[in-house]
Amino acid sequence: MAPCLIESLATTEPLAEVFSDISILEAMLDFEVALARAEAGVGIVPKSAADRIRAAARASEFDIPKLSRGMFRAGTPGIPLVKALRERVRARDPKAAGWVHWGATSQDVADTALVLLLKRARPILVGDLERLEKALRALSERHQTTLMLGRTLMQAAPPVTFGLKAAGWLGALGRGRKRLDSAFEEALVLQFGGASGTLASLAKKGTAVARALAQELGLRCPEAPWHTHRDRLANLVCCCGVATGSLGKMARDISLLMQSEVGEVAEPGGQGRGGSSTMPHKRNPIACALALASAHRIPGLVASFLSAMVAEHERGVGGWQSEWPTVASIVQSTGSAASSLAEVAEGLSVDCARMRKNISNTNGLIFAERVMMLLAGELGRDVAQKLLEGTIQKSIRQNQDLGAMLAQLPEVNSRLTRSVLRQLEIPEQYLGSAEAFRRALVKSTSSNKGKR
């Protein structure tokens, strides 16, 4: 389903579907059905009652606007949901209605439903991140020898390769995905504790029901209920924040490289992507803009979640009630960034000639470090630095090539051979360990497979 208009720049269609009203309702009903089945399995609820509950739990037959209004009045999703489900069961079997929600509390429904939504969202996120990793790996391999300016503090610096830059994005993404994998594994656990987190209403069968319920839902059964211990979810949203920050860094780099004055890369266009409503010539970094929007949005949301962790005793007041929209926004924003940049990386245009030309346009000034290292050994660091600073300023004023000006200085040409002077500004000879670093980054992610 398409996202609502106000969220159209903050999610993707698959994730909008996961967090849609009908999907949320289905997740809550899944909990209630699984609970009845688990309790029937250990001899608490009659099997016929569990069957009636399952038959009545059809999300499409519930009045969602009425439920929403009831949730606002009750301060929890569980109370109006259970009431509506009981009414539907009662219409078919009055005795079975009494077994709905047996031994559970409203927060059990809300928390487990949220976890089930996260379980559904996980493969969508992983799929887009895998697409992006695959595309970045291919970009890095294809451009392992493509030379470009390094840029520090937004200024030209000694050369790098575009393959290394892409591998840097890939390495951060791979590390972020590994953290997300681990965080999802930890967070996908059942919430089932009853009134005070002891399952006292189920007597000695509480833990057996919990294990059976977790199995029914395909979740792990935690050591104990976690009503006011939100650390697992907190870890997940923080990992989303870090991963989206890395995606934002990539988007920032690409959008800067797309500037007209730089012109080294371009996002794929077409199908309404990248145009301007008033300037037909423009090719805007729209996918990068969406990723950057997510990177701007998420830190505040993560902070909001962390502030809500300070819960009171066995049931918090206002903290966990804030989590549904916060977590949903964080996960959807992460997915929006990942999907947008996967599209970018798969169709990115790289202008190798423009990259080379931008190196040449520096008149060799980016190789000043190389000259400094050569002359320092001959003249001493202080003398070499003073000589080089004067020559650089003259080169800038006269718009002349640094190497040619250095070759005219007796202090230089008497110490550096003509061969060395001719090679000062060959960028391929001043890449250091760039290729070794690139290969190491690619290798570090080659076996990083997401779990589904």
Known catalytic residues? 276, 315
SS3 273: strand
| Phi, psi of 255, rounded to the nearest 5 degrees | -65, -35
- Give the amino acid at 40: A
Rounded CA-CA distance 12/34 in Å is 29
- Nearest residue to 323 via CA among 342, 308, 311: 308
In angstroms, the Cα distances linking 202 to 53, 194, 223, 353 are 19, 9, 17, 72
In sequence order, the 6+-apart residues with CB closer than 8 A to the CB of 171 are: 441, 444, 445
Rounded to the nearest 10 degrees, the angle between the axes of helix 106-142 and helix 162-187 is: 160
Contact 133, 176 (CB under 8 A): no
Q: Give the three-class secondary structure for 402.
A: helix
- DSSP character at residue 310: -
Residue 10 is classified by DSSP as S
Q: How many CA atoms lie within 13 A of 243 on its CB side?
A: 34
Phi, psi of 350 (to 5 degrees): -120, 120
Residue 186 in contact with residue 222, Cβ under 8 Å? no
Nearest to 395 by CA among 365, 361, 351: 365
